[in-house]
Chains A and B, each alone.
Chain A
Amino acid sequence: MIKPPPELRSRNGNSQSLMDPDTDIGGPNHRFPATNESAIIRIRSGDRQTRQRAFESILTSYWKPAYKYIRWKWHASNEDAKDLTQGFFAVALEKNYFAAYDPAKASFQTFIRTCLDGFVSNQQKSDKRLKRGGLSEHLDLDFLSAEDEWSLQSIAKDLTPEDFFHREWVRSFFTAAVEGLRERLSSSNRQVHLRLFEAYDLNNENPGERLSYAKLAQQFDLDTATVNNYLAAARREFRKIVLEKLGEITATEEEFRTEARLLLGLELK
């Protein structure tokens, strides 16, 4: 059973009033999105489908960090980590625990990590294993890829659990953003933009040493000005997607700005 720790629990259990539903602080420069775009807000919706979609957004961002965190911090085996991750999110969905999040008390990331710790701790104490088949909800999670990634990672010895979880969340977040960019550029028939972005920013094995635009121009049979323009457009789109996704998983404008500063070093006005 997941129980949010007392310090993270909302006083009245209802934080809807935190955001003015009429407030639209979105805008042309990717500010905090209107409230209906934030999954953290939508998870409190009375509508089951809206809640389900919001949960999926949160799940996409957090299940892999949660799995790796359980593997690392709780020294869980592959199978145990799968069960615990599956169990944690299935129970969270069933009981709608993420709705108890209060942005005034902590960031959503801290909330979810604290909930996860509580859940794993309770499971270990009671020695009551949650088997995937025994849960009413079964979530389709690609644990094979998560385990592959886990095997590739080298973890610094002095890393704190908080830092580890955050780092994995950042990885999961950017992986989703890159996927989003692929979808968006492909659907708008901008494959060349995408390939340039992949060559320059994604597949370059040594990102510290950038390819020259001239080399890319030669490789793609374009002139350097076009390379410059296409790459700038792809990066602009990527930035937009990143900020949109950040808006999806933050609850307030303040949290959005804080995360933008911590994650990207951006001061959004």
Chain B
Amino acid sequence: MKWLSDQKLDHLRKVVSEPDFSGTKYSIIKELGSGGMGAVYLAHDRELDREVAIKVLRETDLSDDTKRRILREAQIIAQLEHPGIVPVHDVGSTEDGRVYYAMKFVRGNRLDEYAATVRTPGDRLRKFKSVCETVAFAHAHGVVHRDLKPQNIMIGSFGEVLVLDWGIAKVLSPTSLPDSEADTLKLRSTNTTFSPTPSHVTADGTIIGTRHYMSPEQARGEQIDSRTDVYSLGAVMYFLLTNTAPATRSDHSSAALPRAVEPSISKAAEAVCLKAMALERRDRYASADELSTDVGHLLDAEPVSAYRENILEKTGRWLGKNRFFVLLVLAYLIMRIFFIFTARD
């Protein structure tokens, strides 16, 4: 028997852990990434002759009941039609009993990669506003994402903003479900690790990276609602403002203030971020839509609901917003003064 090199060993381990797609229309091309709960593959859809991204849960042999409930939720999520949502095309189970979701394969950069190249806060906040709008749309349809983080947000080739990973989203609205049973689906909180971020997730499923973007109530395994996503959006905004992930401890109490990390951030932007990330959900924005509105105000240099300005700040913001007009008036006044003095001489 020929000696197995480390490279071949790793390959054989993958052969065993790779899902068996033989009974489906997909052929795996390569692994795109893996996390605590599963892996993402680039696959070829042989029927439609196109490339798709497939997420496969690591757990094998799920019960029929669990599979059925996951399918029901996937059906609801598949109905979300929005330009910012990469929908679930297909859901099923492999020969070895693992659940998978097939989605459109998106080419582009993840938000964290995008942030590494785009330094202007305005551009970053514009992308962030699009994310808020997409999430607000989902909330309006009773769907909570549960795993919002820069790695799950893509900036497409044409600058479009896409929110990924709806495969494990939670459907909250009981009226939109075929029956009430679907609302009882309880996936473990570690589901949130299901993302292509191998360096952030340990082999035994312990959350490392995604904890930074997870609300305290979700980390504690409590009931979640749309404000859970608002917290995660706040954490994404924190990342975009400071270039670092918030909260380094699981109790969420030690997050450094954004301005302590990046002093150039405005007080208003910090206040918006902190309101979204409030530890108690009642202190947060009531919806992603409200957060989006405040981010829009930040971009337009309008007052935001999260921060009460003093007169100096109001003046400063007004001057900043009307810079061109102020300069024009100043130039006019200087010219007038100049003409007055020259006429007198």
Contact = CB atoms under 8 A, between A and B. Distances in A.
A207 B22 CA distance: 20
B95 interface: yes
B73 to A, nearest CB: 19
B16 A266 contact: yes
CB-CB nearest 4 A-B residue pairs: A232-B22, A207-B11, A267-B59, A264-B17
B16 A239 contact: yes
A201 B11 contact: yes
Given A174-B12, A201-B12, A213-B27, A266 B60 contact: yes
* Chain A binding surface SS class: helix
A171 B27 CA distance: 28
Given A239-B16, A264-B17, A266-B16, 19 more contacts: A29-B96, A29-B97, A31-B61, A152-B3, A174-B4, A174-B9, A177-B12, A178-B4, A201-B12, A202-B8, A202-B12, A213-B27, A239-B15, A239-B20, A243-B16, A261-B203, A261-B204, A266-B60, A267-B37
Contact of A179 (B1, B9, B34): B1
Contact of B20 (A235, A261, A265, A268): A235
B184 to A, nearest CB: 19
A266 B17 contact: yes
Interface string B49-79: 0000000001111100000000000000000
Contact of B9 (A170, A213, A239, A262): A170
Interface string B152-170: 0000000000000000000
Contacts of A210: 30
B254 interface: no
B7 interface: yes
Interface string B302-337: 000000000000000000000000000000000000
Contact of A236 (B9, B22, B61): B22
B13 interface: yes
A171 B61 contact: no
A144 to B, nearest CB: 13
15 contacts: A171-B4, A177-B12, A202-B8, A202-B12, A208-B7, A232-B22, A235-B15, A239-B16, A242-B16, A265-B34, A266-B16, A266-B60, A267-B60, A267-B205, A268-B61
Given A228-B27, A236-B20, A264-B17, A29 B61 contact: yes
B17 A265 contact: yes
A238 B9 contact: no
A232 B20 contact: yes
A208 B20 CA distance: 19
Contacts of A229: 22
Contact of B60 (A149, A242, A269): A269
B71 to A, nearest CB: 18
Interface in A157-189: 167, 170-171, 174-175, 177-179
Contacts of B12: 174, 177-178, 201-202, 238
A243 B13 CA distance: 12
A214 to B, nearest CB: 11
Contacts of B62: 269
Given A232-B22, A236-B20, A148 B203 contact: no
B235 to A, nearest CB: 27
A206 B10 CA distance: 12
A264 B4 contact: no
B8 to A, nearest CB: 6
A263 interface: yes
Given A235-B15, A261-B203, A207 B8 contact: yes
Contacts of B205: 267
Contacts of B37: 267
B58 A266 contact: yes
A265 B60 contact: no
A175 B97 CA distance: 27
B5 to A, nearest CB: 8
